[in-house]
Chains A and B, each alone.
Chain A
């Protein structure tokens, strides 16, 4: 019990090298976001109706798109786990789920900040906002479920089912503005906005995409290390030597 962690990892230099590579990666993606934001701010004229509030588009829309993409990774990881029963797919889905939860919450928060001055309200129960709130509840429920179930195989199976359910909600959220009447405007894309705004939107979407990939990757690595140390602790508890 006194020396649980110490003898496990023999390659003492590897984690430090990886750590600095991770830090450099983080600085690079953050610099890209800053550059894309600066580009958006410097190149776009004020919108004819909402003036400079249009610039919230450069964070809200990329956050929403990449939240959807993170859900696609959750879906892929969950389906692959149920098919192959390999733990790595479960860990990938769980890592993407955390990022999806953060980006969905960010989308709602930024949308709310945008809605107050433009629509006049922070929130309204229109189909787009309601379905997005359901999406957030499902993915937070997914993360809660994982923390409640201790047995790894069962945890993986149950969360894969919830992950697939959550991802199936994504097309509903996306199409809600076409299928039903909403306060939210239809989907924005480079083709619906003035050419002066299109590149600001594209570049910020790409910058957010890199942040999303970086976060999923970092979280996936951490999840693998957690499992390795869990397994080592189990082995030691069973009386083995390593």
Chain B
């Protein structure tokens, strides 16, 4: 190939790479790439919300956690501020699981109105702090799970 031809080829390749990159950044992929739904989005699905594998993210409603260590049975509710979904799990929660923390659960929403979870994951923040007197970390987690898009 001539030197000129090679230059043109390289310019086309560079344009294609940059174009793909720009598409990834500014294009529609952001809308399709949803790791978890919020309770409001799950409810908005109506009939399509039921019995399909889905991830649900939100904040553990303070005071909603019922943990039976003998039966390994966990019940709590997830909220995004707008809607609240009751969750049931037959596994031990992660170490950091507690009232008010962010969580992402995997499983299916059943017609009985309970989300049957196969996996409970804790979503914590990047704000690492030593505890202070009378601190209420729950506030912070609300902002974490109400959506990270601008």
Which A residues are within 8 Å of any B CB, using their own CB?
45-50, 54, 57, 82, 117-121, 124-127, 161, 164-165, 168, 171-172, 175, 177-183, 185-189, 192-194, 196-197
Contacts and interface: CB of A to CB of B under 8 A. Distances in A.
B5 to A, nearest CB: 14
B17 interface: yes
B131 interface: yes
A180 B24 contact: no
B126 A182 contact: no
A54 B126 CA distance: 10
B135 interface: yes
A121 B123 CA distance: 11
B130 A196 contact: yes
A72 to B, nearest CB: 16
B128 A181 contact: no
Interface in B90-129: 93-97, 101, 104, 119-129
B35 A121 contact: no
Task: Bin the interface of chain B by size.
Answer: 35 or more
Interface string B24-51: 1100001001111000000000000000
A22 to B, nearest CB: 37
Contact of A188 (B101, B122, B126, B130): B126
Contact of A49 (B17, B124, B147, B149): B124
20 contacts: A46-B130, A48-B137, A49-B137, A50-B95, A118-B124, A119-B122, A119-B123, A120-B95, A168-B21, A171-B25, A172-B21, A178-B148, A179-B25, A181-B57, A185-B124, A185-B144, A186-B125, A186-B148, A193-B126, A194-B128
B66 interface: no
B93 A120 contact: yes
A120 B122 contact: yes
B97 A120 contact: yes
Given A127-B35, A172-B24, A185-B125, A48 B94 contact: no
B94 A186 contact: no
A183 B25 CA distance: 20
B15 interface: no
Residue among A45, A179, A196 having the largest count of chain B Cβ atoms under 10 Å = A179
A162 B13 CA distance: 11
A120 B120 contact: yes
Contact of B147 (A50, A165, A181): A181
Contacts of B8: none
Contacts of A179: 25, 30, 148-149
Given A49-B137, A120-B122, A121-B121, A181 B21 contact: no
A51 to B, nearest CB: 9
A49 B135 CA distance: 12
B96 A182 contact: no
